[in-house]
Amino acid sequence: MSPEAAQGIYTITAWTDQGEAISHSFDIKEYVLPKYEVNIKLPKVINILHQEVQIQICGRYTYGKPVLGSVKAVLCRKADHHRLRSVLKICVTTELQASGMQQDNTDKTGCATHIIMVSAFAPMNQDIIEVEAELEEHGTGSGQAAFSVDLRKLDFVNILAVYKPGIPFKGKIKLTGIDEKAVGGEAVYLNVNVNAASYNLRLLTQNNGLALFSLDTSLWMDEAKSSSNIEVEPQHQSAHLNVLPFYSKSRSFVKIMESRNKLLCQQESEASAEYIIQGTELKPGQEALHFYYIVMSKGAIMQHGHLPVAVKEGIVNKGELSIPLRGIADLSPYAQVVVYTMLPNWEAVADSKDFPVHPCFKNRVNLEFSADRELPGGKTSFSLEGHPGSLCSIRAVDQSILLLQPDRELSAAYVNSHPKSYQGFLSTMTTSDD
């Protein structure tokens, strides 16, 4: 671009041979690049049992060195009660000190710490403690922590609010602490109310904070209401879930089971499904029924096939299906699996589920600099390695640009979230941070 280019938003548009347009927009504006960033480290949640909480404010230049300077912070309690918001706001201004120092300066790591006395803010449940910090040369940062009276948090994880009678209703309950870390080895109580009756289950969380359950739905007819709780003082949260029956005229169903982990790129896998087919819906003498499956990713059909199962007229036919998932790298970031069958009465019995896949790229790219660090104004070189015939593109920007526009940073996650923009192009990148 010309140095005299007018400020504003510019758009570049290119067309493929098929007439498809691809556009990219960028800004030209005048601003001063930040020399460093200011980060505030504080707990996400402050619990009712906390009497004091430590906050840490750190400054780091874009080229990696710590910032040495003075720090001032303003801490405010922001009420979560709309009617009293203006009345309940309490702010405290403080000079932060580095560990072991009497002056209000950062230490050799570029950090300064401060202890918050929680009682000074008289917080109530769901209030927010906000922190605004200023480092010398007017570098600023902000952060916040919520105040909660709960010691534990419970959630039902990735559960659809429907069940298919006759097929086990499986799910997971996750237990986390106030720091949002998983809590293992604690009892969780699951209460289920269905068909005007109730029963309770005692579950134990694993190291990842998950407690797994499987409920027999053979006799379920109505809406099922589930709640989970734990016995913790002074207070804890409960999780609630209402589950409705899935309608089928023949009461025949198929359900794809959830995978416990993301699919790995270099491994073949399979999806499991359970089915229940009422024999009264079959033709006289029918001995086989075909289930069909489709595997899609990024809007395209990647695999398809059929799975015959043995059935008998007049009985309830139950069983499992194994749907092969091949070429996992082509299915990233999600494999969408659909399975269905057609009964003789033309009723469709079907289910679908999305399976997350680890970020996968066929062409692995490696980028290495000649040195990990280089002085400002110095020269450096790098080597780029990829599959033969690869079209490679290099972007070099000042780290300060990414502080102003972090969403513009090119990463594997960004490419996966924009599959059409990068389809057929390069893959993973390994670079030095300095």
d(CA 386, CA 365): 5
Provide the pLDDT for residue 432: 35
Closest among 325, 326, 329, 351 to 338, alpha carbons compared:
351
Q: What is the pLDDT along the chain (434 residues), one digit of tens a residue?
A: 677 788 888 899 999 888 888 888 888 877 665 677 888 887 777 766 677 878 888 888 877 778 887 887 777 776 655 544 444 566 767 666 554 443 457 788 888 888 877 776 666 555 676 777 777 654 555 665 565 556 677 888 888 888 898 899 888 889 887 777 888 888 888 888 888 778 888 889 899 989 898 888 888 887 877 777 765 544 566 788 888 888 888 999 999 998 877 777 767 888 999 999 999 999 999 999 999 999 998 888 999 999 999 999 989 999 999 999 888 878 888 889 999 999 999 999 999 999 888 877 777 788 888 887 777 778 888 888 888 887 777 777 776 666 666 666 677 777 766 655 444 333 333 333 33
Provide the pLDDT for residue 70: 80
359, 261 in Cβ contact below 8 A? no
pTM equals 0.63
150, 138 in Cβ contact below 8 A? no
Provide the pLDDT for residue 320: 93
Provide the pLDDT for residue 427: 32
Find the angle CA(199)-CA(205)-CA(209) to the nearest 5 degrees: 130
Provide the pLDDT for residue 421: 46
Closest among 69, 89, 71 to 79, alpha carbons compared:
89
Q: Is 254 exposed, middle or buried (0-12, 13-18, 19+ CB in 10 A)?
A: buried
Residue 263 has what DSSP assignment?
A: B
Provide the pLDDT for residue 419: 56
Q: Which domains does the chain have, with CATH numbers?
A: 36-148 (2.60.40.1940), 154-245 (2.60.40.10), 253-356 (2.60.40.10), 366-422 (no CATH)
67 SS3 class: coil
Q: Within 13 A of 89's CA, how many CA atoms are on the CB side?
A: 9
37, 403 in Cβ contact below 8 A? yes
What b/e string do you get for 1-40 counting C-beta neighbours within 10 Å, with b at 16 or more?
A: eeeeeeeeeeeeeeeeeeeeeeeeeeeeeeeeebebbbeb
Q: Dihedral angle at the C-alpha atoms of 105, 108, 109, 113, nearest 10 degrees? A: -30
Find the angle CA(411)-CA(414)-CA(420) to the nearest 5 degrees: 125
